[in-house]
Chain A
Amino acid sequence: MAAAGAVAAPLRPGRAWTAAYDIRLALPLAAFFLVFFLAPLALLVLVSFYADPGMTRFGLDQYARFLLDPFSLRVLGATLWLGVEVTALTLLLGLPLALLLTWAPGRLRGLLTLIVLLPLLTSVVVRTFAWIVILGRQGIVNAGLLALGLTDTPLKLLYTEGGLVLALAQVQMPLMVLPLVTALSRIDPNLADASAALGAGAWRTFLRVTLPLCLPGIVAGCLLTFAAAITAFITQSLIGGGQMLFMPMYLYQQASSLNNWPFAAAIAIVFLVAVLACVTLLNLVGRLSRGRAQA
């Protein structure tokens, strides 16, 4: 119930359109959320409060273990930093792409949209293996560099953080580009013309008009990309390899290999809280910008 309401309400604050519908229509969704989201979450919280792996007594031991352990904190930090890197790269590459998409004439626009959406139509596993082929020692990039004589020995691209950030950026690109395109296409094209007629060059128009007005789209895109990047278990594991450990894999090891369910649950809760904190912060920025940008 609460979850369903929370999804509907922020869309149009101040407009009581929900009143026009029977609230009971939301019940199936509410029940779904209750059974498959809230109940497991409650269970997770409960398990995280067991003091020992055998789950015999309650205590804050698991949280203490995580928060006092430099290794665990490093994994958390590395995961959040990975999210920041991927989000930054995705924004850097996605914004020009979104601008191109918005300004492109009809046919080119359709083609670009297809290219942007294509990653969503293939499995994450397939896409990730494609990146292994591209980045590997005998991969396309290294073969090309060797052939051009730019390097004598193959570069190590796979199993590096740079390679992982690049692969994640490609995989998450639609999550950034689509909200950006939505925000950009909502901007009145006359505003750019008005800015130019007032004497502003292309950069001033972009920085003073286009960018502030698409800030809500930037925030939405960053939120989605960030959340997706830090939880991308498959890509993180396959591209990152064994050397880099991030929260999803850390959690998986504790639960699956070591059977330490309470500690795995605590990791999950800490991760959840950390991500929520980041998301709230971004959202706050978004709300401030939306308040200013609303036409």
Chain B
Amino acid sequence: MSAGAGTPLILDGITQRYGSALAVDTVTLDIRGGELVALLGPSGCGKTTLLRAVAGFLKPTEGRVIIGGQAVDHLPPNRRTVGIVFQNYALFPHMSVADNVAYGLAARGVGRAEQKARVAEMLALVRLEHLAGRFPREMSGGQQQRVALARALAVRPSILLLDEPFAALDKNLRLDMQIEIKRIQRSAGTTTLIVTHDQEEALSMADRVAVLNAGRLEQFAPPTDVYDRPETLFVNTFVGTANVLHGRLATEPGGARVVALEAGGLLPAATTLPDGTRVAACLRPEHVAFAEDGPGAEGGTGGGLDGVVEIGLPLGATLVHEIRLDGGARLKTAEARAAGARPRPPGTRVRLRPTAPERVSVFPDPRH
């Protein structure tokens, strides 16, 4: 059941109300078998509520959870084949590592001999064979997490849920565990849902990322799409960094579409929104080019932003500048730093333009 194809998971119009508060607002996700999906969003966006709904710890106000083609809404958590790894791991403190891993097997009536074999297999999978007799309190955070993972996978769940799995680990260990979990998830072929507020984690691990904000699904797409083609202003600013500039859409005499910025200057924009629409234009720092470096340095009307360098920082492999535009707004730029390159000195006048018109994402201005 678990190996190979994996079990598809469908969240069908999940809505969760707490009194009058709307924690999750009709979220629909169609997750393929064996896929690793990250639920990404700031705290309070409803991602943990969705996780608890899949596990069966809460019954959504509306909507259905469908695991492997079967609606499971009427099933209590212990009748769903869903494994979960909690943020604090929730290992049973009074049981040894082996007993923790065997717990679910015993609960499901697996015979002693098979329990033993499965425990050995799982501990080998997470590379903890040598610590089977230890108690959770005698282990490091990373080891505890691997035990929690082994415990959850021992019962061969059709769906694996990970709740902020790396939040409690220090930065070095975090990357190791991300790779480790990805490896284990691949080899087990288990459909996996990771809840996280850490965008790097979501982008690096997931096959697809579901970005949530205030209970609503903002975008559900592969990590590169979420980053390169954000569908909403929220996604654009929450995932990665973005310069947000406010303005109004217009069409140049030549037919090119531009955003006339409130702060002065023109930005090219590829959008279907009508002229005159107030918009928020987002431009990632690495998509800002200095005009003197690229084509059009002579300064056409295709859009250009004039400003002064406020500060330049050489951040190892990248060179970051903060530019104060003539209209008063500030803009961050980031570029790969060539060997020996130094930041431009403060006060340097520069002209900026996007590396390509389609790099400017335009959204209706939420302020209007």
Contact = CB atoms under 8 A, between A and B. Distances in A.
Interface in B72-105: 76-80, 82-84, 86, 88, 90, 92-94, 103-104
Interface bracket on A: 20 to 34
Nearest to B157: A197
A190 B78 contact: no
Contacts of A198: 78, 83, 103-104, 107, 151-152, 155
A213 B93 contact: yes
Q: Closest 3 CB pairs between A and B?
A: A198-B104, A190-B90, A295-B93
Given A212-B94, A213-B94, A293-B93, A195 B84 contact: no
Given A191-B90, A193-B77, A199 B107 contact: yes
Interface of B: 55-57, 76-80, 82-84, 86, 88, 90, 92-94, 103-104, 107-108, 136-137, 151-152, 155
Interface in A264-295: 292-295
B130 to A, nearest CB: 22
Contact of B84 (A188, A194, A213, A294): A194
Interface of A: 188, 190-191, 193-201, 204, 208-209, 212-213, 292-295
B76 A196 contact: yes
B105 to A, nearest CB: 9
Contacts of B78: 196-201
A193 B84 contact: yes
A199 B86 contact: no
Contacts of B108: 199
Contacts of B82: 197
A108 to B, nearest CB: 17
A292 B94 contact: yes
Give the residue among B83, B94, B104, B137 with the most A Cβ atoms within 10 A: B94
A5 to B, nearest CB: 28
B103 A195 contact: yes
A48 B353 CA distance: 101
A209 B104 CA distance: 12
A196 B83 CA distance: 10
Give the residue among A193, A197, A200, A201 with the most B Cβ atoms within 10 A: A197
Contacts of A194: 84, 86, 90, 92, 151
A273 B104 CA distance: 46
B151 A188 contact: no
A204 B155 CA distance: 16
Given A193-B57, A196-B78, A294 B93 contact: yes
Given A204-B107, A295-B137, A197 B94 contact: no
Contacts of B107: 195, 198-201, 204
Contact of B103 (A200, A201, A212): A200
Nearest to A190: B90
B85 to A, nearest CB: 9
B88 A193 contact: no
Nearest to A192: B90
Contact of B94 (A193, A201, A204, A293): A293
B77 A196 contact: yes
A105 to B, nearest CB: 13
21 contacts: A188-B90, A190-B90, A193-B55, A193-B84, A193-B86, A193-B90, A194-B90, A195-B92, A195-B107, A196-B56, A196-B77, A197-B56, A197-B152, A198-B103, A198-B104, A198-B107, A200-B78, A208-B103, A212-B94, A292-B94, A295-B136
